[in-house]
Structure formats: C-alpha cells, structure tokens
C-alpha cells in the first residue's frame, strides 16, 4: 500500500528562501499539548516546534504550486514550520489532517519513518498519508519547511493529482 509519493514538480529554492526570510519572525510555538492530548508525548521548550499559518493573501507562490498540481479546489492550510534541533516524535498519526505535502527548505537530512519505512527527503515535495503511523527521529539541525495540510484522504488527493 502506497503511503507517500514525491511530486515531480520543480519548486524554486530561491522563492522558498524568500518565504522563509519574510515570515520567520512570525513563527510561534505550536500547542502540542492540545494536539497530542490522547497520546503520550513529552517535549520541552527547546524542542517545541514553531509554526506560522499563512493568511489568505500570503504565500502566493505556494498557492500557485497547489494550483499547478490540481489541488486548489480542496480546502487547505499552508504553514511554515521549524522543527528544532533535538526534536523528535514517536509513532503517531496526525491530528486534524489526513494528508500533507511537505516542501523542505532547510535541514531535512533526517528521514521520516512511515510504517517502518525510512523515507529520506529529496528536493521535491513529499506527499504523505498522515493517517498512517509515522515517527520522526531526533534532528541534528533545525528543520525548516512548508507544510500543506488537507482533510481529504491520501487516495483522494492522489486521484485528483493524477486526474
Ligand atoms: Fe506527524
């Protein structure tokens, strides 16, 4: 069963850095206590992820990308995320989203483990089934990227991309 797919869409590193530089000051700690209330999860201030959800009139470059891959009719949430050095996450499924596209900007050298498979990031965006059990090993550097969250199932998103 397919749990992830790399998207063959070129995405400008320069544009991604521009977005990061423009919005990095708006990053704030993600409330993980709420998100992981039903799962055992411990963290400290140093490893708590930082997050910024783009407003409707922001991140046009990412919106164009979503349009290009045919997903703009699906409601989505675009966030800039910074997962600090030392951050890790045990096995879990995501809360509030079933599918996610992760666009690495910096520091994605460690893999994500999806149903026991180590998946290493490439320069291309990673489409991932967030309803499958996955974990994140401890980072050796800050991991900065864009996350596009969808409520639709992975299967539905894949069908739409391939349509
Ligand atoms: Fe996750």
Domains along the chain?
Answer: 4-162 (2.60.120.620)
Phi-psi bin for 75: left (phi > 0), alpha (psi -120 to 50), beta? beta
Model pLDDT, residue 35: 60
Cα of 24 vs centre of ligand 1, distance in Å, is: 21
Find all residues with CB under 8 Å of 39, minimum gap 6, and list them: 90, 92
Model pLDDT, residue 43: 61
**What is the rounded CA–CA span in Å between residue 137 and residue 120?**
12
Model pLDDT, residue 80: 97
What's this model's pTM, rounded to 2 decimal places?
0.92
Model pLDDT, residue 37: 54
Cα of 144 vs centre of ligand 1, distance in Å, is: 15
Cα of 13 vs centre of ligand 1, distance in Å, is: 24
Q: Splitting the chain (163 residues) into consecutive groups of 10 residues, what average pLDDT does each group show?
A: 89 94 93 60 72 94 95 96 89 91 94 95 94 91 96 96 89
């Amino acid at each position: 069963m397919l749990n992830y797919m790399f998207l063959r869409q070129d995405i400008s590193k320069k544009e991604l850095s521009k977005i990061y530089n423009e919005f990095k000051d708006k990053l704030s700690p993600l409330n993980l206590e709420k998100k992981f209330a039903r799962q055992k999860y411990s963290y400290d201030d140093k490893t708590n992820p930082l997050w910024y959800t783009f407003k409707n009139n922001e991140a046009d470059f990412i919106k164009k990308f979503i349009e290009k891959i045919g997903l703009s009719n699906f409601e989505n949430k675009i966030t800039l995320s910074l997962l600090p050095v030392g951050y890790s996450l045990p096995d879990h499924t995501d809360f509030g989203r079933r599918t996610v596209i992760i666009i690495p900007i910096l520091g994605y050298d460690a893999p994500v483990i999806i149903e026991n498979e180590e998946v290493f990031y490439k320069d291309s965006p990673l489409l991932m089934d967030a309803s499958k059990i996955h974990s994140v090993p401890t980072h050796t550097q800050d991991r900065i990227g864009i996350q596009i969250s969808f409520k639709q199932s992975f299967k539905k998103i894949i069908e739409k991309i391939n349509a």
